[in-house]
């Protein structure tokens, strides 16, 4: 299907484990983003990427790692999960030079 | 420091009436503003946007107003429909500065009563 997909949709893990959230888009948009949504905070930017092999930090990057070897994929890794990383994670893409970002359906992560 | 604020966590409106959602920002460098709508268990979807060179943008039942001097924007939905019940996020961006990041507000949950 065309668009932006995320997997898994739901994940339960334990403190200290490594977790990778996947994001795939079929539009060949140059920009991709990772956000987390928490009550009282709205959506906060974790990392973004302007193109393959170009990534940069957002507002809340600590504890996360990203990579972008291919334009269509932008995985987010929690190297050692903590309870504070329990959240809903959204991936988004943007078709430069347009401003609008298009969001995936989200991954709900619970860290026990 | 919250640069984009939505001070009303929730709003209830009767079907057919006007819904007005408000958003305030503190950074005068923001020059592009967007509204997103979010249903439960789905990602946010783009609704409408406005550049700082305008003070109003309209798309069907949705109108966004921007008051730069007050650093305030609002989304008007007329007439409101039950399907409009969702969480609405405003977002701000500094396009002119060459950054491509949004700063989101905390959201307002709109409930349209039939």
- The whole-number mean pLDDT for each consecutive block of 10 residues of chain B, a chain of 114 residues, reads 90 97 94 95 94 95 97 97 97 76 93 95
pLDDT digits (tens, 9 = 90+) for A37-70: 998 888 999 999 988 899 999 999 999 999 999 9
> CB contact, 8 Å: B93 with chain A?
yes
- For testing contact with chain A, the best of B30, B101, B108 (most A CBs within 10 A): B101
Edge-to-edge strands, sheet with A64-66: A4-7, A19-25, A76-78, A64-66
φ/ψ of A83, rounded to 5, equals -60, -30
φ/ψ of B55, rounded to 5, equals -115, 0
CATH topology for B4-113?
Immunoglobulin-like (2.60.40)
**Dihedral sign for Cα atoms in the order A57, A59, A61, A67:** negative
> CB contact, 8 Å: B29 with chain A?
no
Domains (range + CATH), chain A? 4-111 (2.60.40.10)
pLDDT digits (tens, 9 = 90+) for B63-85: 999 999 999 999 999 999 999 99
């Amino acid at each position: 299907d065309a668009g932006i997909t995320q997997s898994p949709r739901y994940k339960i893990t334990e403190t200290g484990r490594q977790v990778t959230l996947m994001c795939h888009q079929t539009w060949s948009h140059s920009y991709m983003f990772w956000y987390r949504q928490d009550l009282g905070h709205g959506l906060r930017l974790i990392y973004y990427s302007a193109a393959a092999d170009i990534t940069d930090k957002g507002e809340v990057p600590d504890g996360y790692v990203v990579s972008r070897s291919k334009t269509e994929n932008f995985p987010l890794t929690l190297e050692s999960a903590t309870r504070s990383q329990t959240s809903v994670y959204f991936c988004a893409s943007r078709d430069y030079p347009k401003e609008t970002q298009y969001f995936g359906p989200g991954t709900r992560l619970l860290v026990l | 420091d919250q640069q984009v604020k939505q001070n009303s966590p929730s709003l209830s409106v009767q079907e057919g009436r006007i819904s007005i959602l408000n958003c305030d920002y503190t950074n005068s460098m923001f020059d592009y503003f967007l509204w997103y709508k979010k249903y439960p268990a789905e990602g946010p979807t783009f609704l409408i946007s406005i550049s700082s060179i305008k003070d109003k943008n309209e798309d069907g039942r949705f109108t966004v107003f921007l008051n730069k001097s007050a650093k305030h924007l609002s989304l008007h939905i007329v007439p409101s429909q039950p399907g409009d019940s969702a969480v609405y996020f405003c977002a701000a961006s500094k396009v002119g500065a060459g950054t491509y990041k949004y700063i989101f507000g905390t959201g307002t949950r709109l409930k349209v009563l039939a």
